[in-house]
């Protein structure tokens, strides 16, 4: 079967209008006990007004029943089929902090964690330790851990409890089982190789973890390290190569900066608060870029913390800032999410997420409010997440006609 994104590659040209993606991470939700999802409860006059002029719908980022990670969710939105381009969290984390990965490097995301006396995980995030303590622990690990191989090992701070492990050397595979059990009350898992090429990597990672366990034995609250998202780095074709787009990423969190670097976007310095991110986009809006990606993280973290009202507040703050983007008059403005994070679940979910595409050429539908239930009736219907890039390109006049 032909990959539709490859057809867009043959039709894309550098002419046309500018596209803005406003991505509210984890925006989709489920009704709370007293009724209504976060989007339904939030007061969003600007988003609702725009929805009445736009094409609306729902996106399944990976497929029916599949709960997306943030990496696959964003790749889908950017027009990269997440089933074809499967990238581990470690690579995205490393790129996100500006680490210069080389082809063949193996990277994994690391969490400092709290283990009990029996070695069971008490807290997968070690109480979200501050970044200064993180840097101190990373320095200690770099100075005192030594592996039995002729390559290099890097262990770098990301932020708070997060870090990244990179192994650089010959004959390293990246297919390893996560050591993070993803729940408390269980011991960390072994880094089991999933193929023959990764067996050497598995042995090296086990050496690393054994030494770190001894090194952090008396540390509190971070006395363990959990690893996940192992991947061997190979560059992807860029947005420019595929769709003739010069992209700019405006995001605070390293993961989203990493996926942007992976596909060739320029990435501004972390801009700080939500209002500052909108201001950075306004200041950067020029002929230099064709595609702008503005990321909102707090909607996801509020959902993960099961904080329904805080997620509502984040959505309302975005709504208040939306006129700043509309004033730029992009050819296309897409408002969407990379996955749902219902506060009532406290984690990512498989539920489709609302999307709207605003453009002078968009088919307005009957949607009156921007939320999950209303968008189900929209002109875009329920469709794969990867489709939104093709629709954005078309509405921006950036795809030529197909065939004679």
Domain boundaries, the chain: 4-86+237-395, 93-232
pLDDT of residue 45: 98
- Structural tokens at position 266: 């320029």
Q: Are strands 55-60 and 381-384 parallel, antiparallel or unpaired?
A: parallel
Give the model confidence (pLDDT) of 276-327 as tens digits.
999 999 999 999 999 999 999 999 999 999 999 999 999 999 999 999 999 9
**Residue 157 pLDDT greater than 90, yes or no:** yes
pLDDT value at 2 more than 70: no
pLDDT of residue 1: 52
List the Cα angle 303/334/319 in 5-degree steps.
Answer: 55
Q: Which residues contact 202 (CB under 8 A, 6 or more apart)?
A: 176, 191, 192, 193
- Distance, CA of 294 to CA of 203 (rounded, Å): 40
Q: Are 266 and 35 in contact (CB under 8 A)?
A: no
| Residues 51-76, mean pLDDT to the nearest whole number | 96
Residue keyed to tokens 């939320």? 371
H or E element at residue 258: helix 254-262
Tokens read off for 340 = 């749902």
Distance of CA 70 to the CA centre of its chain: 3
- Does CATH place domain 4-86+237-395 in 3.30.750.24? no
pLDDT(367) > 60: yes
Provide the 8-state DSSP code for 117.
T
**Residue 134 confidence (pLDDT):** 95
pLDDT recorded at residue 191: 95
| Residue % of the chain over a pLDDT of 90 | 88
């Amino acid at each position: 079967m032909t990959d539709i994104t490859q057809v867009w590659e043959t039709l894309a040209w550098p002419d046309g209008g500018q596209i803005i993606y406003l991505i509210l991470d984890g925006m989709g939700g489920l009704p709370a006990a007293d009724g209504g999802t976060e989007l339904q409860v939030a007061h969003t006059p600007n988003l609702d007004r725009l929805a009445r002029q736009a094409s609306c719908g729902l996106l399944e980022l990976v497929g029916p029943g599949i709960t997306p990670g943030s990496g696959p969710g964003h790749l889908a939105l950017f027009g990269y089929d997440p089933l074809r381009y499967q990238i581990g969290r470690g690579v995205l984390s490393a790129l996100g902090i500006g680490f210069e990965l080389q082809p063949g490097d193996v990277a994994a995301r690391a969490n400092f964690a709290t283990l009990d006396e029996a070695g069971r995980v008490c807290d997968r995030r070690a109480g979200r330790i501050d970044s200064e303590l993180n840097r101190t622990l990373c320095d200690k690990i770099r100075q005192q851990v030594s592996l039995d191989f002729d390559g290099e090992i890097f262990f770098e701070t990301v932020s708070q409890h997060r870090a990244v492990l990179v192994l650089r050397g010959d004959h390293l595979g990246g297919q390893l089982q996560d050591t993070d059990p993803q729940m408390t009350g269980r011991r960390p898992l072994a880094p089991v190789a999933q193929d023959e090429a990764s067996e050497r990597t598995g042995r090296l990672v086990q050496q690393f973890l054994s030494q770190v366990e001894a090194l952090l034995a008396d540390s509190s609250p971070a006395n363990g390290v959990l690893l996940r998202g192992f991947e061997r780095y190979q560059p992807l074709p860029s947005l420019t190569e595929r769709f003739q787009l010069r992209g700019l990423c405006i995001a605070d969190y390293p993961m989203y900066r990493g996926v942007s670097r992976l596909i060739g976007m320029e990435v501004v310095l972390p801009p700080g608060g939500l209002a500052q991110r909108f201001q950075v986009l306004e200041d950067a809006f020029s002929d230099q870029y064709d595609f702008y990606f503005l990321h909102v993280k707090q909607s996801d973290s509020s959902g993960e913390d099961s904080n329904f009202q805080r997620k509502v507040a984040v959505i309302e703050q975005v709504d208040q800032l939306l006129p700043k983007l509309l004033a730029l008059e992009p050819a296309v403005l897409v408002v969407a999410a990379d996955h749902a994070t219902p506060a009532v679940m406290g984690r990512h979910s498989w539920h489709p997420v609302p999307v709207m595409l605003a453009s002078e050429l968009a088919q307005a539908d009957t949607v009156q409010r921007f939320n999950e239930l209303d968008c189900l009736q929209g002109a875009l219907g329920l469709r794969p997440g990867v489709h939104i890039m093709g629709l954005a390109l078309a509405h921006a006049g950036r795809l030529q006609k197909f065939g004679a």
